[in-house]
């Protein structure tokens, strides 16, 4: 049994993947081991499980390839990469936009919450929404037993025999969702709904307007049940008659079953807001006034949602969507969390954030990065050079964005969709006729969806999953666009036929079939929806207006970008387009840049003044004086684009030159001597890339900053921080997740020891201590300082590499036979499927079961679909 050990590992992996390791132990619930054991028993030996193991092996193989590649990276490559990555990082830093207030709203355990609201019977029970085959969501009570979304119901039942599984009522959820949407629209008419229970808002403009609102405009009345059309909710409210004129009266009804810790949360009622009891006894209402800050706005939103729907929501407030989303998770359920709009706050937040929390990083990426020792965003930043060598450009760009705490500040325009598909799972079908008729049905349903959207495409893809959970897709592209059921089916049928014939003596034995249409043409899209024009007008009128003129950048971007890239800018993926348009953005960024560096700007700068500053800076600073981080020569008044060219040249020069040891060391040393290059760039500098330099967080002072400020900040850094208290407040889930994501690994916290000491010892007035070489230097130029640090860092990296004997420079990579060829990107995925064409084993079982396509869908449909 040579695979016993491996199996054990795999088991753990599987449990991890199923997200079950992060279950919390509760008085009534189960502890982690029990949960894992039960799941294991239920799952072991199933075809599903076997397939999971197989998939996991593939991922492991991928990781192995990656490590192999890593071992062949030379120090020169790494060094060069470091500089190039940092160049981009600097550009990104300059385009950082902190002027938007983005809110992410997330309804708590949405489906389950609706069901509980509608049926008081369920309120004290563990429940889940879904079926025996699959659950969509569970309430918090059930979660204590390890019952979670995406878990099959029959396993959930074993974990929690008392579990009530209710089948989903999507219409109901739609309705509630609509009610919520109506509220959200008051704060951002352009809000972006991600699903029935989740949305992003840009409340920048609302906040601005709100500043002038009278109290009455911010006053809401606490309703006492009678207004709700839903009888049940009245019952809910009257159930707590003792709760009267205080905050508790509007505290969540939903979380009676919340873990006890949650009840320590302070009542989620505006701190600045105050209640005013209405003296008129007949009114029987209290009113509440919300403040004008973002936090208050969000409390107001959540308050209104709860008043209207009797459901609670969690939310996050941050300068961009990525951060907002992460935030909303932090104090869930029924909580909120804000990252203030300054760079330091963002960085503090990001610092220990496990990458898995970041949207876009899923379990596979997490595992791959973990293999590189990357767990947190700081790790991500520290490994940026390596990552740029191991991952595709889009991937490492995303990583860089994440590790800098950057994300989109715009609500996505109605993105042109790229494909539309339908798929269905059913109990085994292997009869040819049934397969065809099923396919036809799918095509017909898909055609309806397509026609609703006025879409036609040229590529039809079928997807087949056999009873062993092996998935295949087969595509075919035709000359003219198709959209009708017949047209699609004609193509899909052929594809299906090929697969049936290919296996011929054996039946296909499918458990899922899907059909997809893609390759939409723009002309068609325009013709039908005139989408582009509409969205163009929308851009003009509803433009999310951050701060006055600054926002024009956004709009201009919209207009200037090529149409394909102007849509679908999930904060995660839009970067490519940013890159290609970078040179155009740079000057438009200028005003913002200026501001984003002014994190510590003089507090009372009037808007006019600010504008003025911006304007002048725009006029005069079109080209700044830059210093090349490689050769350290001043580049005069050239624009960033030119600087980039220069840096590139420098880079290739130095690399040809030689051993980095010889280059980096002398340069950095000479630089470490006192330099005073007072460039007329920004009068304020903020720590840029230095935050994550190993074991330090260096803060560059602004001119106006006093020593007290500094000390305060440094002290704040180490004392029970603002965040950790909030962190403690977070739900059990959350805490557990934190723990579980760190368990199992010799988690070697990249110690941030000495950080405070270092900060405190920072001399004032533009003399900085390099955290790596520990030498003093004097400069006001951020870039210079960073370059210096980076070079020192490179030195360190090189030494580290040497120490580890990973791949000494002289070592010829070719001698390692295993992964020849491909240098640069990860060799992606082994093609295993090709080998697995032999379907069902001996089971001759021609079980022509009734074709009973399982129609229930548990997917969360998005608002606008």
Partner DNA sequence: CGGATCGAC
Partner DNA sequence: CTATGTCGATCCG
613 forms part of the interface with DNA (CB under 7 A): no
456 forms part of the interface with DNA (CB under 7 A): no
134 forms part of the interface with DNA (CB under 7 A): yes
Stretch that binds DNA, among 227-235, 292-300, 389-397, 768-776 (CB under 7 A): 389-397
The two tokens of residue 391 are 């991952």
The residue (of 71 and 570) whose beta carbon lies closer to DNA is 570
Among 270, 405, 514, 771, binds DNA (CB under 7 A): 514
Helices (H), 227-357: 231-238, 294-309, 321-330, 343-351
Q: How far apart are CA 481 and CA 216, in angstroms?
A: 56
Among 195, 230, 738, 811, binds DNA (CB under 7 A): 195
Contact 471, 403 (CB under 8 A): no
Contact 425, 854 (CB under 8 A): yes
Q: If we measure between CA atoms, which residue out of 628, 623, 627 comes closest to residue 639?
A: 623
Among 278, 285, 459, 532, binds DNA (CB under 7 A): 459
Strand partners, 289: 219
The residue (of 152 and 629) whose beta carbon lies closer to DNA is 152
Q: How far apart are CA 566 and CA 416, in angstroms?
A: 10
Among 13, 152, 335, 591, binds DNA (CB under 7 A): 152
Among 185, 235, 248, 830, binds DNA (CB under 7 A): 830
Among 16, 151, 689, 792, binds DNA (CB under 7 A): 151
DSSP state of 376: B
Among 330, 458, 509, 594, binds DNA (CB under 7 A): 458
Radius of gyration over every alpha carbon of the chain, rounded to an integer in angstroms: 29
The residue (of 566 and 697) whose beta carbon lies closer to DNA is 566
860 forms part of the interface with DNA (CB under 7 A): yes
The residue (of 376 and 595) whose beta carbon lies closer to DNA is 376
Site residues for DNA, window 411-450 (CB under 7 A)? 415, 417-425
Distances in whole angstroms, Cα of residue 482 to Cα of each of 460, 463, 514: 9, 18, 17
Instruction: Output b/e per residue, 345-366; b: 16+ Cβ within 10 A.
Output: bbbbbbbbbbbbbbbbbeeebb
Site residues for DNA, window 221-240 (CB under 7 A)? none
Q: How far is the CB of 278 from DNA (least distance, A)?
A: 39
Q: What is the size of the binding site for DNA (CB under 7 A)?
A: 84
Q: How far apart are CA 647 and CA 395, in angstroms?
A: 23
Contact 327, 318 (CB under 8 A): yes
The residue (of 361 and 782) whose beta carbon lies closer to DNA is 361
360 forms part of the interface with DNA (CB under 7 A): yes
Q: Name residues whose C-beta falls within 8 Å of residue 748's C-beta, 6 or more positions apart in sequence.
A: 373
Give φ, ψ of 777 to 5 degrees: -155, 160
304 forms part of the interface with DNA (CB under 7 A): no
The residue (of 198 and 557) whose beta carbon lies closer to DNA is 198
181 forms part of the interface with DNA (CB under 7 A): no
The two tokens of residue 4 are 């016993």
Stretch that binds DNA, among 190-198, 215-223, 596-604, 735-743 (CB under 7 A): 190-198
Interface mask (CB under 7 A) for DNA, residues 363-382, using x and -? xxxx----------------
Q: How far is the CB of 860 from DNA (least distance, A)?
A: 4
CA 13 and chain centroid, separation: 23
Query: Residue holding tokens 């008419």?
Result: 189
Among 9, 167, 473, 556, binds DNA (CB under 7 A): 473
Q: How far is the CB of 2 from DNA (least distance, A)?
A: 24
395 forms part of the interface with DNA (CB under 7 A): yes
Q: How far apart are CA 592 and CA 574, in angstroms?
A: 19
831 forms part of the interface with DNA (CB under 7 A): yes
The residue (of 230 and 427) whose beta carbon lies closer to DNA is 427
Site residues for DNA, window 31-50 (CB under 7 A)? 39, 42-43, 46, 48-49
Q: If we measure between CA atoms, which residue out of 128, 178, 171 comes closest to residue 153?
A: 128
392 forms part of the interface with DNA (CB under 7 A): yes
Stretch that binds DNA, among 261-269, 717-725, 791-799, 827-835 (CB under 7 A): 827-835
Q: Name residues whose C-beta falls within 8 Å of residue 777's C-beta, 6 or more positions apart in sequence.
A: 671, 672, 673, 674, 675, 767, 768, 769, 770, 785, 788
The residue (of 431 and 474) whose beta carbon lies closer to DNA is 474
Among 607, 703, 728, 828, binds DNA (CB under 7 A): 828
792 forms part of the interface with DNA (CB under 7 A): no
Q: If we measure between CA atoms, which residue out of 453, 505, 441 comes closest to residue 483?
A: 453
* 211 Rama class: left (phi>0) / alpha (psi -120 to 50) / beta: alpha
């Amino acid at each position: 049994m040579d695979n016993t050990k491996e199996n054990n590992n795999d088991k753990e992996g599987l449990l991890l993947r199923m997200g079950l390791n992060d279950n919390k132990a509760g008085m009534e619930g189960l502890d982690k081991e029990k949960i894992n054991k039960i799941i294991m028993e239920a799952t072991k030996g199933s075809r599903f499980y076997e397939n999971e193991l197989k998939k996991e092996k593939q991922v492991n193989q991928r990781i192995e390839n990656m490590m192999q590649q890593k071992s062949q990276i030379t120090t020169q490559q790494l060094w060069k990469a470091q500089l190039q990555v940092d160049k981009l990082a600097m550009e990104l830093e300059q385009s950082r936009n902190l002027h938007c207030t983005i809110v992410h709203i997330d309804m708590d355990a949405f489906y389950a919450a609706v069901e509980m609201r509608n049926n008081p019977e369920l309120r004290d029970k563990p429940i889940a929404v879904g079926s025996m085959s699959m659950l969509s969501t569970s309430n918090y009570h059930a979660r204590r037993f390890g019952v979670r979304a995406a878990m099959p119901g029959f396993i959930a039942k074993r974990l929690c025999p008392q579990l009530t599984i209710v089948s989903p009522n999507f219409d109901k959820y739609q309705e509630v969702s609509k009610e919520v949407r109506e509220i959200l629209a008051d704060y951002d008419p352009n809000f972006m709904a991600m699903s029935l229970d989740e949305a992003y808002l840009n409340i920048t403009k609302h906040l601005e307007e709100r500043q002038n609102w009278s109290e009455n405009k911010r006053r809401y009345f606490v309703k006492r049940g009678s207004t709700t059309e839903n009888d049940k909710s009245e019952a809910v409210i009257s159930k707590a008659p003792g709760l009267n004129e205080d905050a508790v009266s509007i505290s969540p009804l939903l979380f009676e079953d919340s873990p006890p810790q949650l009840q320590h949360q302070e009542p989620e009622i505006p701190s600045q807001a105050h209640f005013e009891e209405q003296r008129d006894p007949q009114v029987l209402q209290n009113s509440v006034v919300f403040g004008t800050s973002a936090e208050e706005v969000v409390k107001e939103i959540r308050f209104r949602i709860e008043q209207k729907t009797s459901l609670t929501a969690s939310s996050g407030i941050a300068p961009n969507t990525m951060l907002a989303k992460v935030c909303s998770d932090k104090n869930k359920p029924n909580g909120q969390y804000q990252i203030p709009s300054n760079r330091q706050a963002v960085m503090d937040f990001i610092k220990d954030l496990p990458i898995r929390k970041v949207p876009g990083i899923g379990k596979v990426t997490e595992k791959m990065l973990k293999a590189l020792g990357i767990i947190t965003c700081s790790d991500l930043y520290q490994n940026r050079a390596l990552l740029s060598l191991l991952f595709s450009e889009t991937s490492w760009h995303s990583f860089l964005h994440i590790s800098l705490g950057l994300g989109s500040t715009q609500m996505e325009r109605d993105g042109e969709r790229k494909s539309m598909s339908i798929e269905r799972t059913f109990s085994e079908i292997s009869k040819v006729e049934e397969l065809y008729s099923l396919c036809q049905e799918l095509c017909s349903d898909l055609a309806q969806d397509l026609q609703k959207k006025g879409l036609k495409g040229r590529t039809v893809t079928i997807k087949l999953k056999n009873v062993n959970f092996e998935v295949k897709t087969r595509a075919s592209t035709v000359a003219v666009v198709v959209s009708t059921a017949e047209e699609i089916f004609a193509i899909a049928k052929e594809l299906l036929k090929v697969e049936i014939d290919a296996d011929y003596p054996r039946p296909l034995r499918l458990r899922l079939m899907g059909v997809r249409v893609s390759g939409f043409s723009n002309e068609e899209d325009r013709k039908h929806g005139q989408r582009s024009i509409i969205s163009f007008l929308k851009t003009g009128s509803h433009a999310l207006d951050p701060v006055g003129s600054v926002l024009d950048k956004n709009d201009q971007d919209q207009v200037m970008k090529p149409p394909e890239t102007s849509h679908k800018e999930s904060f995660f993926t839009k970067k490519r387009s940013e890159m290609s348009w970078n040179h155009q953005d740079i000057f438009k960024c200028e005003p913002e840049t200026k501001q984003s560096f002014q994190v510590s700007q003089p507090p009372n700068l009037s808007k006019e003044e600010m504008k003025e500053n911006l304007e002048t800076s725009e006029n005069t600073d079109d080209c700044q004086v830059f210093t090349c981080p490689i050769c350290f020569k001043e580049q005069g008044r050239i624009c960033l684009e030119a600087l980039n060219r220069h840096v590139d040249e420098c880079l290739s020069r130095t690399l040809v030159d030689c051993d980095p040891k010889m280059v980096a060391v002398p340069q950095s040393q000479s630089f470490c001597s006192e330099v005073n290059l007072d460039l007329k760039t920004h009068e304020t500098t903020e720590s840029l890339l230095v935050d994550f330099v190993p074991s330090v967080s260096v803060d560059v002072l602004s001119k106006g900053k006093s020593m007290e400020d500094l000390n305060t900040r440094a002290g704040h850094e180490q004392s029970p921080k603002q965040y950790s208290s909030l962190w403690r407040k977070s739900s059990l889930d959350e805490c557990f997740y934190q723990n579980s994501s760190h368990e199992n690994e010799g988690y070697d916290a990249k110690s941030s020891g000495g950080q405070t000491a270092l900060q405190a010892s920072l001399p004032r007035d533009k003399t900085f201590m390099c955290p790596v070489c520990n030498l003093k230097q004097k400069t006001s130029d951020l870039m210079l300082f960073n370059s210096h640090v980076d070079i020192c860092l490179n030195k360190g990296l090189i030494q580290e590499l040497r120490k580890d004997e990973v791949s000494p420079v002289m070592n010829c990579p070719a001698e390692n036979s295993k992964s020849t060829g491909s240098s640069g990107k990860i060799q992606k995925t082994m093609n295993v499927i090709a080998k697995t064409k032999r379907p069902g084993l001996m089971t001759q079982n021609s079980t022509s079961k009734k074709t009973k396509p399982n129609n229930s869908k548990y997917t969360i449909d998005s608002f606008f679909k």
